[in-house]
Amino acid sequence: MLNRLKQRFAATTLVSAALTMAWRSHGRTNNELVTSLRRNGVYHSERVAEVMLAVDRADFCGSNPYLDSPQSIGYNATISAPHMHASALELLLPKLVNGSHVLDVGSGSGYLTTCMAHLVGQNGVVVGIEHIPQLVNLSLVNIRKNHSQLLDSGRLKIIEGDGRLGYPADSPYEVIHVGAAADSLPQTLVDQLAVGGRMILPLNANDVRNGQRYVQVDKVSDTEIQTKDLMGVIYVPLTSVEHQIGRR
The domain ranges of the chain are 80-239
Amino acid 26 reads H
Angle formed by the axes of helices 82-92 and 46-54, to 10°? Answer: 130
Would you say residue 3 has pLDDT above 60?
Answer: no
The pTM of the whole model exceeds 0.85: yes
What are the catalytic residues? 80
Lowest mean pLDDT among 143-152, 184-193, 208-217, 235-244: 208-217
> What percentage of residues in the chain have a pLDDT greater than 70?
88
Q: Give residue-wise pLDDT tens across range 16-29.
A: 444 444 567 789 99
Give dist(CA 60, CA 142) in Å, integer.
5
CA quadruple 71, 73, 76, 163: dihedral, nearest 10: -110
Give dist(CA 151, CA 149) in Å, integer.
5
More confident residue, 211 or 15: 211
Q: Give residue-wise pLDDT tens across range 127-177.
A: 999 999 999 999 999 999 999 999 999 999 999 999 999 999 999 999 999
Would you say residue 219 has pLDDT above 70?
Answer: yes
> What percentage of residues in the chain have a pLDDT greater than 90?
81
Asked whether 74 and 156 are in contact (CB, 8 A), the reply is no
> Given this model, what pLDDT does residue 23 score?
60
CATH superfamily of 80-239: Vaccinia Virus protein VP39 (3.40.50.150)
